Amino acid sequence: MLERIDDDWRVAQRCAGCDKQRELQLTEMNVGTIVGHAFDARSLVLPLCPACGSREVLIASAEGETHPFPGSVGHLHQLLVDHLCATLVERGRVLPDVVKRRGLLKPALVAKDSLAQWFPDGFKFE
């Protein structure tokens, strides 16, 4: 799962497979997945964990989707995922094959006030 997004867009992730933390850059990630003829424009496949080979897939919220437990770890993690995916889309980091099939994506920006409310000290978990 994501643990932190830094101001300079280094992202810290903790691997579900081996519990190691690592840092990723935005340039290592693209929104979208293609499986055969199907595609998904809301998923973000992270690079393989170099230690154990696990691959984490993050899924952004659907438009208008709200989390059932505001303030829970699941909710905060979802906000980070949504914020990261929106920023990647905004910067054009979307798989070219997804753009070809779907057209340019609109970033589903997370409201600034809800980010400020839940992450007053930066985008991170303790």
Q: Is 45 helix (H, G, I), strand (E, B) or coil?
A: strand
CB-CB contact of 124 with 4 (8 Å): yes
3-state secondary structure of 50: coil
Interface with Zn ion, residue 49, by CB under 5 A: yes
CB atoms under 10 Å from CB of 16, counted, come to: 12
CB-nearer residue toward Zn ion: 52 or 73: 52
Name the minimum Å distance from CB 44 to Zn ion.
17
Of the candidates 110, 111, 85, the residue with the CA atom closest to the CA atom of residue 98:
85
CB of 48 to Zn ion, least distance (A): 9
Using the minimum distance from each CB to Zn ion, give the nearer residue, 51 or 109: 51
CA separation for the pair 39, 85 (Å, rounded): 16
Residues from 8 through 47 that contact Zn ion (CB under 5 A): 15, 17-18
What track of x and - describes contact with Zn ion for positions 82 through 121 (by CB under 5 A)? ----------------------------------------
d(CA 64, CA 67): 10
For the CB of residue 54, give the shortest distance to Zn ion in the complex, in Å.
Answer: 5
From the list 49-57, 65-73, 77-85, 97-105, the region that binds Zn ion by CB under 5 A is: 49-57
- Contact residues for Zn ion, defined by CB under 5 A: 15, 17-18, 49, 51-52, 54
